[in-house]
Amino acid sequence: MLENTKFDQILEKLSRTVAGRTSRRGFIGRVGTVLAGAALVPLLPVDRRGRVSRGAHAAAGTREGWKPQDTDVTQCDYWRHCSIDGNICDCCGGSLTNCPPGTRLSPSSWIASCFNPGDNQSYLIAYRDCCGKNVCGRCGCLNTEGELPVYRPEFANDIIWCFGAEDDAMTYHCTISPIVGKA
């Protein structure tokens, strides 16, 4: 026969005391509450200002290493492309504000605040996909300034925004970068 140690006796007494004061339903309910609460933690707002560089670019509200320019719209470092994820329409037969011929403008967009080094102002840019043709494949950029997770879709550039277009225009082609206003 097994010998009961002092530890076993204390553990048994503690277990019986807890069992006498609680019910299974109450315990399961508390565990469920804790699990549900833990699942909601990622949805809480987070202050992401710490991602901004404290150096020379902090005044412009940009990330470290991002040096926007305002001369060549076909380059990924053009100031309006601070949060673009896709192909620049200027390289595909369109412009900063117009889709190329044969494509349709997506009815939805994502937004970002981009700093223009030419006038030292920040502007809201509403990135919109041009849909209906195969991917352009030229001037592909992946900039993530101000990007947030997909549960905040208005700030997520990883989504193909052609989902609201007509049936024959669901294929992504390129992205335009019109200014909405000053930030």
Each residue's pLDDT tens digit, 153-166: 555 555 667 876 66
Domain that holds residue 112: 85-182
Q: In whole angstroms, what is the distance from residue 109 CA to residue 149 CA?
A: 15
Q: Which of 79, 90, 129, 161 is catalytic?
A: 129
Q: Is 8 a catalytic residue?
A: no
Domain count, the chain: 1
- CATH number of residue 130's parent domain: 2.60.30.10
143 annotated ligand binder:
no
Q: Is 66 a catalytic residue?
A: no
Burial 64-94 (b: 16+ CB within 10 A, else e): eebebeeeebeeeebbbbbbbbbbbbbbbbb
Summary mean pLDDT of the chain: 79
Q: Does residue 172 form part of some domain?
A: yes
**pLDDT value at 89 more than 60:** yes
167 annotated ligand binder:
no
168: number of Cβ within 10 Å: 9
pLDDT band at 79, cuts 50/70/90?
Answer: very high
Q: In whole angstroms, what is the distance from residue 65 CA to residue 57 CA?
A: 8
Q: Does residue 97 form part of some domain?
A: yes
Q: Does residue 19 form part of some domain?
A: no
Q: Which of 79, 90, 110, 161 is catalytic?
A: 110
